[in-house]
A and B are shown apart, each in its own frame.
Chain A
Amino acid sequence: MIGYMLRRLAQLLPVLLIASFCIWAMIYAIPGGPVGMILGENATPEQIAALRAELGLDRPVIVQYWEWLTRALGGDLGLSLHSRQPVASLIGERLPATVQLGLAATVVGLAIGVPVAVASALRPGSWLDRTLSIWSALALGVPTFWLGILLILLFAVHLRWLPSASGYLPLWESPFEMLRNTLLPAFTLGMYVSGIFARFLRASLVSELRADYVRTARSKGLPEREVVGLHVMRNAMLPFVTIVGLMMANFIGGTVVTEAVFTYPGLGRLLITAISTRDYPLIQGCILVILVIYIVINVMVDVLYAYIDPRIEYA
């Protein structure tokens, strides 16, 4: 098991290295390079030479990259150009907000997606199945930012039940306020994934229901509830776990748009601000953190899948 985990990590290592190299090389690709970025356009040649020596730009590229990477791995992502605060602490402040929103959206997605999938898989081709498939097509096709705007119009502008801009409050500090603030963004994001969940689980359930063991279970007189609940669900859940995990990995960066709609103070908003103010160390830090989390969750999903499905060989 541990060997399998290590092998998966080893497979992803080149991807991680190349991607982190691209992130590091980003500041060299911008006009003016890292020196121009810090000093601006009106720098004297002396200033430029001094800064180049200070930043170590005269050394081989590989050495520079390696130093950046080892410092980043040690938690030192440099200073933000604007606030002069450590990038790592700026990200650390915003990460919990994004994680909480991502988890809330996953809960919403599962709460809607699973019942929809089960209801439509039990009677494929029925009117209910067709209606629900239109519904999941809508969930997938309606852009999150438009759905978010419609929800704000209805619940904040028209009914005045919920705030139009959502703040971040930890669940354990004020559960009620947290719900009030997270409900709309979580629903906006959760609606989209519920479409994915519903479609995948339905396909997986429909193919399981055709399996021989289902016929055996039915013919020995098991009630349908047990056939579906005990046998089919368990098998159909296996591939589904992967999808849920991948979606959660996606949320780490995928909340960008939703956070913008609800002016929610998460990692995505931080990245947008960093891009519009050209705060490159902050951009690099945000993307690197998102990349690492994304890949780690992907590996965890693989491992979890291998763990719950004994048929997978680790070799």
Chain B
Amino acid sequence: MRRSRELARRVFAHRAAQASLAWLATLILLSLFTPLLPIDPLAQDLLAELQGPSAAHWFGTDELGRDILARVIYGARTSLMTAAGAVAIAGAIGVPIGLLAGFFGGWRDAVLMRLVDVLLALPGILLAMAIIAVVGRSQAAALLAVGITGIPSFARITRAQVLSLRKRDFVVAVEALGGSAAYIMFRTVLPNSWSPILVQVVVLSAVAILLEAALAFLGIGIPPPTPSWGEMLRTGKTFLYEAPTYAVLPGLVLTLTILSLDMLGRVMASVLEDRHEIEAPAALQGGRP
């Protein structure tokens, strides 16, 4: 507990991390209270279609005269919820895989990690596309697809963490006192592995938001009319001549969100690295769209 407070203090001390947190907090607050805001992402005004930014519509209007800012705010909700759900799926499957593989070693490690390798045999976006091809296009499909692509990194990080803790005195002591495998894994090793897993949560949230937007941009993500940043970029791209800001502004919000999460993840990783708690910086996730 004291250690996580120390971690939080050192992350907060970083100016770039403060800016990132401020942006993310705004997004989270807006998405929590969207239903209370006096905005409607579905209200059409066919007389005011494809307008540029104005006092009435700060981000302009889309091809059906809907307010783009309202859709961006509702899109934040879609993005954050997909990210949270996908990271939860990835963690719920990946962390136990890593724990079991690292703790037992031997054939169980070999089998589990080979299965994880299969998930890595394709770049993330292609894996997600293949999953959607099988289960069809829906909100659940997008969530599942993005979640499954995140499993390998959780499994690997947790496994590495278990391997490095496995021979430490306090773990050996619990083992000598007769602690069961489950007790050692979940009550001794896991509580000491939270920091690198937390960094991974932040990094994967960025990947998940980007992946969800990319799938929507390709036309196979969450189906309309649910507002999604990627879907807005997709439609906005067809009106580049009529309304250039249509695709630019939602993209800017998406980019700021990704950059904030990346920055936060990197600051957290560097703080942890100083304390030699993680093996490698988590900043780099291959196979990004």
Contact = CB atoms under 8 A, between A and B. Distances in A.
Contacts of A291: 121-122
Contact of A256 (B125, B136, B263, B284): B125
A283 B259 contact: no
A227 interface: no
A144 B126 contact: no
Contact of B118 (A15, A257, A261): A15
Given A149-B240, A291-B121, A192 B259 contact: no
Interface residues of B, number: 48
A139 B266 CA distance: 15
Interface residues of A, number: 50
B286 A257 contact: no
Interface stretch (A57-65, A117-125, A150-158, A172-180): A150-158
A68 interface: no
A306 interface: no
A72 interface: no
B289 interface: yes
B209 to A, nearest CB: 9
Interface stretch (B86-94, B127-135, B174-182): B127-135
B251 A143 contact: yes
Contact of A196 (B129, B262, B284): B284
Interface string A138-171: 1011111110011011000100000010000000
Contacts of B204: none
Contacts of A256: 125-126, 129, 218, 289
Given A246-B286, A283-B130, A290-B126, A16 B248 contact: no
B121 A16 contact: yes
Nearest to B130: A287
B126 A137 contact: no
A49 interface: no
A261 B230 CA distance: 12
B114 A18 contact: yes
B219 interface: yes
B287 A26 contact: no
B241 interface: yes
Interface of A: 14-16, 18-19, 22-23, 26, 29-31, 137-138, 140-146, 149-150, 152-153, 157, 164, 192, 196, 199, 246, 250, 253-254, 256-257, 260-261, 271-272, 274-276, 278, 280, 283, 287, 290-291, 294-295
23 contacts: A16-B121, A18-B118, A26-B134, A30-B136, A137-B263, A138-B259, A140-B262, A141-B258, A142-B259, A143-B251, A145-B251, A146-B252, A149-B247, A152-B237, A164-B240, A254-B287, A257-B125, A257-B289, A272-B218, A272-B219, A287-B122, A290-B126, A295-B121
